[in-house]
A and B are shown apart, each in its own frame.
Chain A
Amino acid sequence: MIRIEPRPPVSGTVRLVLPLAAALAALALTAVPLLFAGAPVFTAYGLMLKGVAGSLFAFTETLTRATPLIFTGLAAAVAFRARLWNIGAEGQLYLGALACVWIGTGMIDAPALVLVPLVLLAGALAGAVGMIGPAWLRTRFGADEVVTTLLLNFIILIFVQMMLEGALKDPMGLGWPQSEPVLDAAMLPPLIDRMRLHWGFPLALVMAVLVHLLMSRTVWGFRIRAVGENAAAARHAGLPVTRVLLSVAALSGALAGLAGVSEVAGLKGYLTADLSPGFGYAGIVVAMLAGLSPLGVVVAAVYIAAVFVGADSMSRELGVSSYLADLTVALSLICVLLGGFFARYRIVRVPTVDAGQG
């Protein structure tokens, strides 16, 4: 017979090693679908590695991919800390992108010094609004935010399509549903010449540090943690639980909205309805891999980005479906969940003795 017993708290080292082990386990498990697809496994891993870090270009591509994931990962991490299940980062990302093209395609003409902060602010605001709604429905009516944010993702994406075929449609777009290009003054410039890596990446790093300081050093962060860990005790102690939840919602939505701005103004230059290949959902995996730590989010985002970039370039060479990346990401989430379990509990074999022999 098998029983589950709590384990004494594990050391900090173990907590750092666990997500790494989970990521490695997920990568190892990826061999199964590779074999299923009939691909040479070791060649495939080699090609993935080459695609991720084989050249300066490859590496900057990985960091470019990581940029939106840091934002959405932070969005998930702060919300989950307060036990607010924001599964709507995908939609909030699009809201941010929408606000960015709304303001940035000619509504206001100003120098970059004004316009860049303006589109960032607008995107953050739009994302925040997109999460305050579901949070309010939860605090006011008890409507589960998991379901509302998930459904909102669909609503927002359809809304974006509607805008791209209507009000925001580029008249020069040859009939494609896409927005006008963002003004040069509203663009986040590239970091390195002839590379796609842009200023969104350092901005994401700064946000990670700010969120880390917020959570660990400020009264606001203290309240968020207290409400998340034990809302009843927080209410009993006089913390404004509803207000804290709404403020976390705003923060989380704003971070996801920044992901959208960064993708549009840093990378694509205009908005299409396929701007995000699921950055919002992958952000959840990033946050869980990071153990909800804001600084950990950066590392986890680079890992998930590497999975996507590596699988992409490997699949181009070997003809294996690039859905492999999604599979690895899903496996990473499940592995890190299991890892978290083994950090807190251990499974003990209890011999099923009969009293006579025992």
Chain B
Amino acid sequence: MSAPVLELSGLSKRFGAVQANADVDLSLGRGEVLALLGENGAGKTTLMNMLFGHYLPDAGHIRVDDGQGLRDLPLGHPQAALSAGIGMVHQHFTLAENLSALDNILLGVGSLLSRRKRGGAARAHVEDVMARSGLQVALDTRVSRLTVGERQRVEILKALVRNTRILVLDEPTAVLTPQEADSLFANLHQLAVDGLSVIFISHKLREVLAFSDRIAVLRHGRKVGEIATAEADERRIARLMVGAEAPQVERAPMDPGAPVLELSGIRCEAASARDRLSDVSLTVHAREIVGIAGVSGNGQAALAAVISGLRAPDAGEIRVGGALPARHTPAALIRAGVGRIPEDRHHDGVVGSMSVAENLILERLDGPDVQRRGFLRRRQIDAAAIAAVEEFDIRGPGPDAPVRLLSGGNMQKMILARVFRAAPKLILANQPTRGLDLGAAAEVGRRLVAACGDGAGVLLISEDLDELIALSDRILVMVDGRLTEAPRRDRTEIGLMMAGAAA
């Protein structure tokens, strides 16, 4: 390793009862690409937020090379981190969508009282950085009109124009196609050759092995291993990450039954690609899991909205269990037998300030076990909640506590309980394991397979190819609002299809 440009030593951070990071040491050399690997909740993001001054560590130091050797970095000051040449690209982009790419890149450069920089030296500098890094974007376009990949380039450019010498990327490929991801890493490699040091956070073993020089693994907030990538292999890293072999969901194929969901010629018109569907036809049978792969924003949201009943298609027909639903509303589709696990559980799935018991009856307020002549049957509702908490192992302060207090995994179990207790014909699972740790994710997968065994059909929309391949009987790929069936459950082939190449 060349001379270090960054040293973290003994960094610790506790949030309430959770020890997010404990005594983490890490160093980074000039021009080195370091991968920071770990499960969800392993403390990767917290560590980087401390580096960037967003969080103040409880203990530890950060030292950064300022050209004349390593110096202590004042902690808890984003401004200090910025001026020390540390740049961060967050997983959730921090872009103002109502401004142009250039305005975003130059935001906060120079005095606020100066004239807005739109041309001249500032623009030339940005164009120069674009040329050197190979990251090209249309500078005068409003960010709201850029694609996800372009937005990410804007984020990286934002860091680079500030003479960043250490670039941190938090799960940079989560929203990219495999091909876009490859080109991103090619750019990063070029930058590293020119002297930029890179830390990227990931939980994808494949890209970590392919594109890093060194790998550091975090588990439960501690650094549990550090290896040169050349000496690493998938099994060894996976063991470091989870502490044991990754839990695998057992999946034996079953005999599919009658169709439970039939979409034919569904079309949705919309200005943006994420809300558009063109002539989508699809059948899900009982005892079958059908996976929908695709880069996010290709129409999955529209497909889920149609099947949830939130959006009536502009053309086409939807049948549930062979029958047309009475109306195209969420209530009618729930009644027809569709159970829904929404993509964003906080936003669409739960009413955070209401109790677990109340959230469990949210979709079935008309049921005779829930109400009588408009009055809630408290005793029955509470008894059912206690049973659900037991059966689905929903851990938290109890059925009367607000759902907001549950962890992500337990909130998802609450939603599963609500869906499964209605004995749906079809389960729409949209990104059901997003944000869950491996254990909770495996539990969700197991429950879906079990429901399938009980006679339900499952439509699984996911960005995680490994999950899709492990769980699905068939996989369809969604690109630009169209569905194409993948001939085989093959990673590379599906990746190519996701990028728009003909199957």
Same complex:
yes
A221 (CB) vs chain B CBs: closest residue:
B376
A140 interface hit (Cβ, 8 Å):
no
In the complex where A233-B362, A237-B363, A238-B330 touch, is A354 in contact with B376 (Cβ < 8 A)?
A: no
In the complex where A219-B374, A233-B362, A237-B363 touch, is A350 in contact with B331 (Cβ < 8 A)?
A: no
B73 (CB) vs chain A CBs: closest residue:
A355
In the complex where A355-B62, A355-B73 touch, is A219 in contact with B349 (Cβ < 8 A)?
A: no
Contact between chains at B76 and A356 (CB < 8 Å): no
B342 interface hit (Cβ, 8 Å):
yes
Which residues in window 38-80 of B have CB below 8 A to A? 56, 59, 61-63, 72-77
Q: Mark A2-23, 1 if CB is under 8 A from B, else 0.
A: 0000001100000000000000
Closest Cβ of chain A to B418, distance in Å, is 9
Which one, B16, B310, B350, contacts A230 given CB within 8 A? Answer: B350
Contact between chains at A235 and B330 (CB < 8 Å): yes
Contact between chains at B72 and A237 (CB < 8 Å): no
In the complex where A226-B354, A236-B308 touch, is A219 in contact with B365 (Cβ < 8 A)?
A: yes
Contact between chains at A235 and B310 (CB < 8 Å): yes
CA A166 – CA B343 in complex, angstroms?
Answer: 59
CA A355 – CA B334 in complex, angstroms?
Answer: 56
- Chain B residues within 8 Å of A232, by CB: 347-348
Contact between chains at B72 and A354 (CB < 8 Å): yes
Contact between chains at A239 and B350 (CB < 8 Å): no
Contact between chains at B375 and A217 (CB < 8 Å): yes
CA A225 – CA B354 in complex, angstroms?
Answer: 8
Quick one: which of A223, A230, A356 has the most chain B CB within 10 A? Answer: A230
Which one, B76, B331, B363, B371, contacts A240 given CB within 8 A? Answer: B331
Number of interface residues of B (CB under 8 A): 44
Q: Mark A117-130, 1 if CB is under 8 A from B, else 0.
A: 00000000000000
Closest Cβ of chain B to A140, distance in Å, is 18
Which one, A8, A229, A350, A355, contacts B61 given CB within 8 A? Answer: A355
Q: Mark B331-372, 1 if CB is under 8 A from A, else 0.
A: 111100000101000011111111000100011011000110
Contact between chains at B351 and A238 (CB < 8 Å): no
A222 interface hit (Cβ, 8 Å):
yes
Which one, B334, B371, B402, contacts A238 given CB within 8 A? Answer: B334
A334 interface hit (Cβ, 8 Å):
no
CA A352 – CA B402 in complex, angstroms?
Answer: 35
CA A355 – CA B57 in complex, angstroms?
Answer: 10
A1 interface hit (Cβ, 8 Å):
yes
- Chain A residues within 8 Å of B351, by CB: 225-226, 229-230, 233-234
CA A8 – CA B17 in complex, angstroms?
Answer: 12
B405 interface hit (Cβ, 8 Å):
yes
In the complex where A1-B76, A358-B61 touch, is A233 in contact with B365 (Cβ < 8 A)?
A: no
B424 interface hit (Cβ, 8 Å):
no
B294 interface hit (Cβ, 8 Å):
no
B264 interface hit (Cβ, 8 Å):
no
B481 interface hit (Cβ, 8 Å):
no
Which one, A1, A217, A222, contacts B365 given CB within 8 A? Answer: A222
Q: Mark A290-326, 1 if CB is under 8 A from B, else 0.
A: 0000000000000000000000000000000000000
Contact between chains at B362 and A226 (CB < 8 Å): yes
Contact between chains at B75 and A223 (CB < 8 Å): no
B418 (CB) vs chain A CBs: closest residue:
A237
A345 interface hit (Cβ, 8 Å):
no
Contact between chains at B376 and A219 (CB < 8 Å): yes
Which residues in window 276-328 of B have CB below 8 A to A? 308-310
A353 interface hit (Cβ, 8 Å):
yes
Contact between chains at B363 and A238 (CB < 8 Å): yes
CA A219 – CA B370 in complex, angstroms?
Answer: 9
A213 (CB) vs chain B CBs: closest residue:
B375
B61 (CB) vs chain A CBs: closest residue:
A355
CA A100 – CA B75 in complex, angstroms?
Answer: 67
- Chain A residues within 8 Å of B362, by CB: 226, 233-234, 237, 239
A43 interface hit (Cβ, 8 Å):
no
CA A51 – CA B59 in complex, angstroms?
Answer: 59
Closest Cβ of chain B to A182, distance in Å, is 35
A341 interface hit (Cβ, 8 Å):
no
Which residues in window 54-75 of A have CB below 8 A to B? none
CA A230 – CA B75 in complex, angstroms?
Answer: 37
Contact between chains at B374 and A218 (CB < 8 Å): yes
Contact between chains at B371 and A219 (CB < 8 Å): yes
Contact between chains at A355 and B74 (CB < 8 Å): yes
In the complex where A237-B330, A355-B61, A355-B62 touch, is A218 in contact with B376 (Cβ < 8 A)?
A: yes
In the complex where A236-B340, A358-B75 touch, is A222 in contact with B376 (Cβ < 8 A)?
A: yes
Contact between chains at B375 and A218 (CB < 8 Å): yes
Closest Cβ of chain B to A350, distance in Å, is 5
CA A232 – CA B340 in complex, angstroms?
Answer: 14
Contact between chains at A355 and B75 (CB < 8 Å): yes
- Chain A residues within 8 Å of B358, by CB: 222, 226
CA A240 – CA B366 in complex, angstroms?
Answer: 12
Contact between chains at A9 and B371 (CB < 8 Å): no
Contact between chains at B348 and A236 (CB < 8 Å): yes
Contact between chains at B374 and A220 (CB < 8 Å): yes
A6 (CB) vs chain B CBs: closest residue:
B16
Closest Cβ of chain B to A239, distance in Å, is 7
- Chain B residues within 8 Å of A9, by CB: 402, 405
Quick one: which of A234, A236, A354 has the most chain B CB within 10 A? Answer: A236
Q: List 18 A-B contacts (CB under 8 A).
A: A1-B76, A217-B378, A218-B375, A219-B370, A222-B365, A222-B376, A226-B362, A229-B352, A229-B353, A233-B347, A234-B351, A236-B310, A237-B330, A238-B330, A352-B74, A354-B72, A355-B72, A358-B61
Q: In the A-B complex, list the 5 residue pairs whose CB atoms are closest, starting with the nearest.
A: A238-B331, A238-B330, A355-B72, A236-B348, A237-B362
* Residues of B near any A CB (own CB < 8 A): 16, 56, 59, 61-63, 72-77, 308-310, 329-334, 340, 342, 347-354, 358, 362-363, 365-366, 370-371, 374-376, 378, 402, 405
Sample of 19 more A-B contacts, CB < 8 Å, known A232-B347, A238-B329, A350-B76? A217-B375, A218-B374, A218-B375, A219-B366, A219-B370, A219-B375, A220-B374, A226-B358, A229-B354, A230-B350, A230-B351, A232-B348, A233-B348, A234-B362, A238-B334, A238-B363, A353-B76, A354-B75, A356-B61
